[in-house]
Structures are given as structure tokens and as C-alpha cells.
Amino acid sequence: MGHLLRVDLNWTGARGGAGLSQFFFQTNTVLNETPSQTVVDQAVGKVNTFITTARDWLPDDITLSVDPTATLIEDTDGSVKAELSSTGSTQTGAGTGLYAAPAGVVINWLTNTWASKKNGSPGTSRLRGKTFLVPLAGTAYEADGTLTSAMTAAITTQANNLRAAGTGGFPVLAVWRRPVNGLGGLSAPVSAVRVPDKVCILRSRRD
């Protein structure tokens, strides 16, 4: 049982409609405690910093907005414990060139935690998460349609910065499995990131 801070990243301007990316951070609080303002500001600030690099590879009609309100939830059941104010930010894509609306890159968030797929069964799959950056601007692609090494390197660097623990060890970027199929919610710290040199297709703006 523990608390997670949820930071929302809103996408507008995409042809498939508005989008939402959510980032979860473990805190050093339990029960009815709330994290310090420093921890809240660091969690929101990490996402603010992340989008300053992400914008370089997104079309100029895409806008990213970090919600200034972080939501404190209980990881076992998803219940909301508090809404905590910080300072968000907005960035507009700076990439150029033609692009395909549903195509982009995926960041894989890896953990060292194994999770059950059914209630009462032993852990059978490693807990992991994904963040999609879609669409990517034409400048993110090589002439043959693959992703540029400059883009994957930049996104990997910022993803690792995002998962780095904050001052005093918190906040810590985490993957959260929502309560489903009789299983309680579960969270685990991100231990590594992987950004494949492979174009992904996003079928929904809330994937």
C-alpha cells in the first residue's frame, strides 16, 4: 500500500483528437499523509523538463500542456486522496516536415517487479508501462522512414532524467497497474527505459 502522484500531460492539435499521457511517481508518504510541496514540485517539474525536449520532435500544430495539479492516489485501489497544486507548463512542437498522424515513437518503462495476471496466481509477467509520442514531425525520420538516431538518443536521455529519483530519494517514476480482474492495484519503480528504433502506430489518443 502506498501513494502515487499522478501528473497529467494533455495533447491538443492532433488529428485524432485530444490526447492524454499520465505519469506516476512514488512518494515517501503512506496512509493519510500528503507529500511535501518539494516532492510535488519535483514530480511536475520533471514532466515540464521532459516536454522541452519532446517538443523538438513534434509537429508545430501539436501543443503539450502539463497540468499544474498533481493528483495523489492510493495505488491499491486508485482512490483519490488529494489534489495538490504546482506549476505546469505548455510547449508547442518545434519539428518540421510532413508527418503521418498516427505514427511516432514509444518509450518502454521497465521494472524489476513481476505481477500476477489472475487473482491468486503467481507473478507471470514483468510489470511495465509505455508512453507514446505521436505524431512525430518529419524531421524525426531518416530518408528510409526509420527513426533518426539523434531523436531516439535525445528521448532516451530525457526519459532517463525523468526516472531519476528526486532530491532525498523521492519522487520516483513508477509504473502503475490499475485494479482489474479481482487484482488490486500495484506500482513499481521504473528501473530502465527502452526507446526502440522502430515506428509505432497509435490507435487511440488515450493509449
Whether residue 205 has pLDDT greater than 60: no
pLDDT at 27: 92
Q: Average of pLDDT values for 39-58? A: 97
Total count of residues recorded for the chain? 207
End-to-end CA distance of the chain: 26
Residue 120 confidence class, pLDDT cut points 50, 70, 90: low
Residue 85 confidence class, pLDDT cut points 50, 70, 90: very high
Closest by Cα among 90, 100, 106 to 59: 100
pLDDT at 207: 47
Q: Average of pLDDT values for 168-196? A: 91
Residue whose grid cell is 489518443: 205
Residue 31 confidence class, pLDDT cut points 50, 70, 90: low
What pTM was computed for the model? 0.93
Q: Average of pLDDT values for 101-115? A: 95
Helix (H, G, I), strand (E, B) or coil at 161: helix
Q: Average of pLDDT values for 94-110? A: 95
Closest by Cα among 146, 127, 130 to 187: 127
